[in-house]
Structure 1
């Protein structure tokens, strides 16, 4: 077996590397080339090529495409740029806008991996007779004793991206490789210098790639200029406290920017797109113990039995103990958290792990559709 778990010599193994123009995917290409693999680089142009050309922290557009091309030239590997703007807009950006207008807090990176990188790009890699598709994600995959591959948290907990890959299918996972899963970020930077890559000190991508400076409302206003409507900001009892200019400016758990003079800190507890109301309350009203998931995906291809698990309800949080109950007929799952979580929002992902360990296996996950708060006031308002 070679280092990619394939029974072929490296020079007989064709690897397509998804090159975003950043340091991580560039190091993947450099390492595999150095190990003797037949490496082909592919960069996807996903959005707004001109406007993003000089924007710091972007990816898959503008300067990043030029950086990926320069790295490929320095490594001596073929490099192709594919225009996926239309697919990206339809599958990711439009869905992002619709979800926000529905009062949700979507994660476009999950949809990008599911619909663009691990579906369309993977198909292109197969068309190029590749044996595997490698990416710069910080996540680990390993062969399973029963066959297939399992997905695990990365060695570097600060860089672990397993939260964004829960929607990967078993078939996709068999074709994917993640060479950085066993490396800390500082080692990746060191290798970039050792390989002589021009992007060795390039800043990491920031925020959502097509949302400059994290201003979601600006993007949605451009995409759906007539969709946002003003409404009331109300407390848990329904008392009007103020006005807002559109629920797209708010997310569950938000405290800043409410512009209310109440004398006590208030947080966004819920968004109501039908009535255009923003519901606010004290921090304790955010506590959530029960979550309903839809669009559930299991990486093994089959649902596990009801059992104790660990879950992440946001990418920045560690997995927490929970119990899992499945409704196979409805294709949904219910999560009961052992310790209540704050700021759980519809539209976010809930990723399910086998345990809460630092190298835990990812079992699957789904989209949060309903949350049950602990506070009687919040439940009554709901």
Structure 2
């Protein structure tokens, strides 16, 4: 698991013995971060485990596969006890609600499809928790994310994980150069999740066979709309399902129950053509549907860009890159045309379907693994 070694640097890149290198490990209670902590402890590092309690409500308490609440906190504490390093639980519920959950609810109500995991990394884990690690005099902070940090001519670079099936670069595009200089991702070079579980079994960790989390952590049953209704009572106003040509096809119980590209569950059967959600008009309380070709998009407006390239984003009129417009899509060729340091228009060389406001557009070096940053899609065409 160790990073590339040299005669003068330890496996985390510091010119001193592991025993003199303090590392805070962000522990969610899952197998990935548990293995990171256990491996670093075995290598002799001065490890401190920290778990953030981000929420503590309802079914999340008893659900395996969520993170940062209930049973997962106990799992993280047990790993620390097994491996013999200190572990702390920090109450970040208010910070998490203010920085992540409230925006998630408001974005959903505005017809967007938000990605709260990105905001959590950006605003909580790599901001407040990172500062806590500094306060603990740690030399660095390590996480269980599947992404690689490599040293380039201009400092630390972000690269996709070796295991493309586990790559989490889409969710980490907003990591800043300053944060990247302090962070370490010891699992990023592993070829498969099986290697991670084998390491957990080698250490005898009780979480070795724990299932991976699948849902957004504070939506343990995958029902986003029900969470929005609890957070914003009265949010599910009924309205019309309208064809793009203006025909009223039916009624809905709230725009929050639909997403761009959705086909199933529209309740408008009996039509000759398959229809998809092509637009959510929150002001008119309309779900607009149309044929599949209406989902195809080439022009994608992006804002709040975090640029990780060597030269400034605005140093040239366009950048030929690859981009992801959804976490589940492979990178596709595109051209970035900067409008400012934080705004740009991205042109996809081949149209993509289901591009949705609230999703991220992440930039990659064409033909390579380097992450060049990314931004937020803020309106559809």
Fold shared per TM-score above 0.5: yes
| Structure 1 residue 212: Cα displacement | 2.1
Matched, 1:115 2:123: yes
CA-CA distance at 1:181 after TM superposition = 0.2
Runs of 4+ in 1 over 3 A off after TM superposition: none
Q: How many residues align?
A: 368
1:249-268 aligned within 5 A: 249-261=257-269, 262-268=271-277
Could you give the per-residue CA deviations for residues 93-133 of structure 1, whole angstroms, max 9, x where no partner exists?
A: 11000000000000000000000000000000000000000
Partner of 1:131: 139
Q: Is 1:288 aligned to residue 290 of structure 2?
A: no
- Using the alignment, how far apart are the partners of 1:56 and 1:34 within structure 2? 27
Structure 1 counterpart of 2:349: 338
1:158 counterpart = 2:148 = no
> Runs of 5+ in structure 1 lacking a partner?
373-382
| Paired residues for 1:48-67 under 5 Å | 48-49=56-57, 51-67=59-75
Q: Is the contact between residue 65 and residue 210 of structure 2 (CA under 8 Å) also seen in structure 1?
A: no
Q: CA deviation at 1:219?
A: 0.1
**Residues 224 and 356 (structure 1 numbering): CA distance in 2 closer, same or farther, change over 3 Å?**
farther
Q: Distance in 1 between matches of 2:61 and 2:227?
A: 17
Judged with a 3 Å threshold, the aligned counterparts in structure 2 of structure 1 residues 49 and 65 are, in CA distance, closer, same or farther, namely farther
Between 37-46 and 51-60, the greater mean CA deviation after superposition: 51-60
Q: 1:205 aligns with which of 209, 213, 218?
A: 213
346, 350, 355: which one aligns with 2:366: 355
Match of residue 379 from structure 1? none
CA-CA distance at 1:37 after TM superposition: 0.7
Provide TM-score, normalisation by structure 1.
0.94
DSSP-derived class of the 1:204 partner: coil
User: Which blocks of at least 5 consecutive residues in structure 2 are unaligned?
Assistant: 1-8
Q: Residue by residue, what CA displacement relative to the aligned partner does 1:309-341 show, whole Å, maximum 9, x if unpaired? A: 000001011100001100117x31111001110
Give, in whole Å, the separation in 2 of the partners of 1:345 and 1:121: 30
1:97 aligns with 105
2:179 aligned to 165, 172, 180, which one?
Answer: 172
**1:279 lines up with 2:291 in the alignment:** no
Partner of 1:34: 42
CA distance in 2, matches of 1:138, 1:235: 42
Aligned to 1:328: 340
State the distance in 1 between where 2:302 and 2:195 align: 37
